């Protein structure tokens, strides 16, 4: 059973701090990794994708991937109250075609 695990939180950080969100996955042949943001009652919104080991930066967001440890993380720098949402980690395995397997998400709360 392919699984994606995330700490459900809530993760609380003050405005301006760095928020660190973590995700582990069970399927070793997973190839593509995604972070989505989901506001309450809304649909998942893509933040970043990462395919290779290492870091990938996009604005205030940095995704980190370590395939040997089966671990992917998302760092949010200079956190803003508008970043308060649930962050979903999603994984795609070549063996599973193009479907995404989602974690349950980590709820982030940024206080002003």
Binding site for another protein (CB under 8 A): 32, 34, 36, 42-46, 49, 88, 90, 96-105
Contact (CB, 8 A) for 74 and 88: no
Identity of the residue, 32 or 70, whose beta carbon is nearer to another protein in the bound complex:
32
Identity of the residue, 43 or 112, whose beta carbon is nearer to another protein in the bound complex:
43
| 92 C-beta neighbours (distance < 10 Å), count | 19
Identity of the residue, 14 or 41, whose beta carbon is nearer to another protein in the bound complex:
41
Q: Tell me which DSSP letter residue 104 carries.
A: -
Query: To the nearest whole angstrom, how small is the minimum distance from the Cβ of residue 74 to another protein?
Result: 15
Query: Could you give the CA distance from residue 33 to residue 31 in angstroms, rounded to a whole number?
Result: 7
């Amino acid at each position: 059973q392919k699984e994606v695990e995330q700490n459900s939180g809530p993760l609380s950080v003050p405005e301006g701090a760095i928020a660190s969100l973590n995700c582990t996955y069970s399927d070793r042949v997973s190839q593509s990794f995604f972070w989505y943001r989901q506001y309450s009652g809304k649909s998942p919104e893509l933040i970043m994708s990462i395919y290779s080991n290492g870091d990938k930066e996009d604005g205030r967001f940095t995704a980190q991937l370590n395939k040997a440890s089966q671990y992917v993380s998302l760092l949010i720098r200079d956190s803003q109250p508008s970043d308060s949402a649930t962050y979903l980690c999603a994984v795609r395995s070549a063996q599973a075609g193009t479907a995404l397997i989602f974690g349950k998400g980590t709820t982030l709360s940024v206080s002003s």
